[in-house]
């Protein structure tokens, strides 16, 4: 479901940390077998975790791993063929060839729905494995519980020492047909508790179990109809999971649930109607689907959720109840995925902001999430990019949250001295590399975040806060080295660190997942200032061209797995590059923006299993695609301005809040007319390649007249 709590999908592997990057979502297209179906996954993350509540249907004899096995092995895997797969938004099906079982999955907001059709006459089993995790290692499962209740409901919880340390996830599971038997295993002891005679005198017919390596097999005998399974999860308790199941998971009608999921997806995907070839539509709506996956609901039907303090909270603020969302890959999604939601679903943005503010208030530090999921913090990546998410929403008119409360936690996040060396940043105007790693990136990103904070403060009329953070937004200049022409890290003594290699990325560098060629463009809040620093528009364009046109051996970044999708130094596979193609607009060379975008769209996206150039990062890569396909992009979220590129669809109709419609057309739309000749908004020519958010949400029509060659004079600096 869009933003759903459940991400039920097949796992071909639960990789250990050596292989986690490639298997971050549990499924790799090249793998020949499926291990099971688990209920929680990240969409395109770089680091990983989850893979909770893995189940596997088994027909016939159950083959467990031999011996003591605290980590799952190959015992119950099945081969499968991609030819048997059906992948749709809200539905997945595959045939497990070793068992002859047809597996179908769909989901409700908090429920995973399964339907398993077993071969006739073979005894049906469902295996439940609480041992495996995505990004697995010995000792990752700290503790788990499993229980079969009198009414046949299976409940459990597990506490894992994962990316979010000490994460507890509970579940409740029901079947549409009665169990004929069950065995709960504690694989640390290689003894099914059925026959276990341990210390003391516990019941041998164990219907509950505690331990670090629990596995269970539920038997159903030969079935006359498919086995349906429904599973609810909760970050709070097994009882809450049951309540979620009772409320959100009524009845037994897999097909109806599938229709509901399809309808929910159709509803959000219909926010944008495009014309185009089937291939184009597949690619566009796949991207839009990705953009609607996170943040994810992380709250039970009773409004309880687990916060970053690991305590249980109630989702209620000054404006009343709200839905609490987590899964915040903020270093990524503040750029385009969250702005896309502000445009398409401002109602959702309201609850996203309220969730961020609530998380800050629940935080032991009183600061906004950095990289959070299931309510818990991982401290992954840099910056305080929840700030531009909130600022962008506010500046673009999203309301329904307590802006003063929000501003308070934004300021708290931007001034928490012990975080990312903000103490030095505030004192020196930059993060010194002898005190803090990746200092140049931090200085640059803090300065942008500060600018976005100032935009919101100013819009709210708070001139003192606005002035403070506007001043801080200029600190990018402290990273600018006019001698080398790159953004660099300084030492605390004020001198740039030597030696300096603008191509170097990786451990110990001045940058976060990047090098000087990539990070020197990161002043989205003041591109004119950057142009000036770089010596004017011509030099700026020349350096930007040099960045895109450099000859770079991909092996150069072999130690930094995130830097992918290379076009010269430009790395579309990683977020720091995402605004770069649009920067030509600011130097009066929009035709070069158009050219670079075509270059990127042609080479970095494909509706194939390996279609993305890098991690989708919870929808950011896909949101970039959606914006770019529509013809504009939020270079600096927190501003209401979009930079215009060119459409990659012939027609798009945006169905916006308040029944407003915004239509984008491009003609002639073919491979022979890759440049924009003229742009009209409601028939009036646009003089600059920029668009205001207000123009969009008011409704209207944006028409692009496409041309074969850059307009006359454009190559010397187009000043339309």
- Residues forming contacts to a copy of itself in the complex (CB under 8 A) are 142-143, 145, 147, 149-150, 157, 159, 161, 165-166, 197, 199-208, 210-211, 237-239, 309-312, 364-367, 370-371, 377-382, 416-420, 437
Nearest residue (CB) to a copy of itself, 202 versus 603: 202
The nearer residue to a copy of itself, 161 or 271, going by C-beta atoms, is 161
Please say which residue, 159 or 607, places its beta carbon nearer to a copy of itself. 159
The smaller minimum CB distance to a copy of itself, of residues 93 and 312, is found at: 312
- Shortest separation between residue 329's beta carbon and a copy of itself, angstroms: 13
Q: How far is CA 410 from CA 388, 451, 585, 593, 640, in A?
A: 9, 12, 30, 33, 19
Q: Where are the beta strands (DSSP E) in 604-656?
A: 632-633, 641-644, 651-656
Q: How many CA atoms lie less than 13 Å away from 504 in the CB half-sphere?
A: 11
| Residue whose pair of structure tokens reads 């942008």 in the numeric block | 448
Between residues 202 and 282, which has the closer beta carbon with respect to a copy of itself?
202
122 or 149: CB nearest a copy of itself = 149
> Closest approach of Cβ 206 to a copy of itself, in Å?
8
In the block, residue with structure tokens 């920029």: 690
Is 367 or 621 the residue whose CB approaches a copy of itself more closely? 367
Q: Which residues contact 107 (CB under 8 A, 6 or more apart)?
A: 1, 4, 6, 7, 8, 90, 113, 257, 261
| Least spacing, CB of residue 19 vs a copy of itself, in Å | 18
What tokens appear for 337 in the block? 């995925």
| Smaller CB separation from a copy of itself, 204 or 603 | 204
What torsion, rounded to 10 degrees, do the Cα atoms 622, 625, 627, 629 define? -150
Torsion, CA 444, CA 450, CA 455, CA 459, rounded to 10: 180
One DSSP character per residue, 273-314 reads: EE-S-HHHHHHHHHHHHHHTS-SEE---TTSEEE-TTS-EEE
Nearest distance in Å: CB 327, a copy of itself: 16
In the complex, the smallest distance separating the C-beta of residue 221 from a copy of itself, rounded to whole angstroms, is 21
Q: How many CA atoms, within 13 angstroms, populate the side-chain half-sphere of residue 710?
A: 17
What would the two tokens of residue 476 be?
């990018």
Q: How many CA atoms, within 13 angstroms, populate the side-chain half-sphere of residue 312?
A: 11
Instruction: Point out which residues pair with 8 in neighbouring strands.
Output: none
For residue 120, the number of C-alpha atoms closer than 13 Å in the C-beta half-sphere is 0
Encoding tokens for residue 309?
A: 């303090």
The three-state secondary structure class of 121 is coil
**Helix extents (H) in 79-224:** none
CB of 333 to a copy of itself, least distance (A): 17
Q: Which is nearer to a copy of itself, 139 or 609 (CB)?
A: 139
Smallest gap from residue 356 Cβ to a copy of itself (A) = 17
Closer CB to a copy of itself, 312 or 459, in the complex: 312
DSSP class per residue in 327-357: -EEHHHHTTTHHHHHHHH-HHHHHHHHHHHH
Beta carbon of residue 611, minimum distance to a copy of itself (angstroms, whole number): 29
* Smallest gap from residue 370 Cβ to a copy of itself (A): 7
> Pairing state of beta strands 36-38 and 9-11?
antiparallel
Identify which of residues 305 and 675 has a Cβ nearer to a copy of itself in the complex: 305
CB of 210 to a copy of itself, least distance (A): 4
In angstroms, what is the minimal distance from the CB of 143 to a copy of itself?
5
- Determine the Cα–Cα distance for residues 21 and 27; give it in Å rounded to an integer: 11
Task: Say how far apart CA 681 and CA 249 lie, in whole Å.
Answer: 47
CB of 39 to a copy of itself, least distance (A): 21
Place of tokens 């609490």: 324
Q: Which is nearer to a copy of itself, 166 or 251 (CB)?
A: 166
């Amino acid at each position: 479901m869009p933003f759903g709590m459940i991400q039920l999908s097949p796992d071909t592997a639960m990789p250990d940390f050596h292989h986690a990057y490639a298997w971050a979502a549990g499924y790799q297209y090249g793998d020949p077998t499926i291990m099971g179906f688990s209920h929680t996954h990240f969409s395109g993350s770089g680091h990983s975790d989850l893979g909770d509540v893995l189940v596997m249907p088994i027909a016939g004899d159950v083959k467990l791993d031999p011996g003591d096995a605290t980590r799952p092995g190959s015992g119950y895997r099945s081969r499968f063929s991609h030819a048997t797969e059906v992948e749709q938004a809200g539905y997945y099906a595959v045939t497990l060839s070793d068992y002859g079982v047809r597996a179908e999955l769909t989901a409700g907001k908090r429920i995973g729905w399964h339907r398993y059709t077993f071969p006739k006459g073979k005894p049906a089993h469902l295996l439940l494995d609480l041992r495996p995790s995505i990004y697995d290692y010995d000792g990752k499962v700290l503790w788990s519980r499993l229980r079969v209740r009198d009414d046949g409901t299976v409940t459990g919880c597990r506490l894992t020492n994962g990316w979010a340390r000490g994460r507890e996830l509970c579940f409740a599971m029901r079947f549409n047909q009665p169990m004929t038997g069950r065995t709960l295993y504690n694989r640390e002891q290689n003894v099914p508790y059925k026959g276990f005679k341990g210390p003391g005198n516990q019941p041998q017919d164990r219907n509950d179990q505690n331990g670090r390596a629990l596995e269970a097999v539920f038997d159903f005998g030969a079935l006359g109809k498919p086995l349906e399974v429904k599973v609810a999860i909760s970050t709070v308790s097994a009882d809450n999971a049951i309540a979620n199941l009772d409320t959100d998971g009524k009845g037994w009608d897999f097909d109806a649930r599938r229709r509901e999921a399809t309808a929910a997806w159709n509803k959000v995907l219909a926010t944008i109607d495009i014309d185009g070839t089937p291939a184009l539509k597949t690619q566009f709506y796949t991207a839009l689907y990705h953009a609607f996956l996170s943040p994810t609901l992380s709250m039970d039907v009773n409004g309880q959720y687990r916060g970053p303090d690991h305590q249980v909270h109630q989702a209620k603020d000054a404006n009343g109840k709200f839905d609490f969302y987590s899964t915040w890959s903020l270093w990524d999604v503040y750029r385009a995925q969250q702005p896309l939601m502000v445009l398409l679903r401002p109602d959702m943005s309201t609850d996203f902001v309220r969730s961020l503010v609530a998380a800050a208030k629940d935080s032991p530090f009183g600061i906004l999430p950095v990289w959070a999921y299931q309510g818990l913090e991982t401290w992954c990546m840099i910056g305080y990019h929840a700030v531009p998410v909130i600022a962008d929403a506010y500046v673009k008119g999203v309301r329904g949250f307590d802006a003063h409360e929000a501003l308070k936690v934004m300021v708290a996040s931007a001034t928490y001295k012990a975080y990312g060396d903000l103490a030095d940043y505030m004192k020196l105007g930059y993060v010194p590399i002898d005190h803090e790693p990746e200092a140049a990136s931090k200085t640059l990103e803090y300065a942008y975040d500060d600018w976005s904070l100032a935009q919101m403060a100013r819009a709210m009329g708070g001139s003192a806060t606005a002035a403070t953070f506007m001043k801080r937004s200029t600190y990018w200049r402290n990273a600018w080295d006019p001698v080398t022409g790159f953004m660099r890290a300084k030492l605390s003594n004020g001198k740039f660190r030597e030696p300096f290699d603008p191509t170097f990325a990786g451990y110990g560098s001045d940058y976060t997942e990047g090098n000087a060629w990539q990070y020197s463009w990161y002043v989205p809040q003041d591109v004119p200032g950057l142009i000036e620093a770089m010596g004017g528009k011509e030099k700026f364009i020349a350096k930007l061209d040099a960045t895109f046109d450099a000859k770079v051996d991909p092996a150069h970044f072999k130690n930094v797995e995130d830097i992918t999708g290379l076009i010269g130094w430009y790395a579309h596979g990683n977020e720091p590059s995402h605004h770069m193609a649009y920067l030509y607009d600011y130097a009066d060379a929009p035709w070069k923006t158009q050219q670079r975008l075509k270059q990127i769209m042609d080479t970095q996206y494909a509706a194939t299993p390996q279609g993305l150039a890098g991690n989708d990062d919870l929808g950011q890569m896909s949101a970039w695609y959606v914006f770019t396909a529509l013809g504009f992009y939020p270079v600096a979220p927190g501003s209401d301005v979009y930079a215009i590129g060119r459409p990659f669809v012939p027609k798009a109709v945006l169905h916006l809040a308040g029944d407003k419609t915004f239509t984008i057309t491009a003609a002639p739309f073919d491979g022979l007319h890759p440049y924009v000749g003229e742009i009209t908004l409601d028939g009036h020519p646009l003089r600059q390649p920029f668009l205001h958010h207000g123009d969009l949400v008011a409704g209207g029509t944006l028409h692009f007249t496409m041309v074969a060659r850059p307009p006359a004079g454009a190559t010397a600096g187009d000043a339309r």
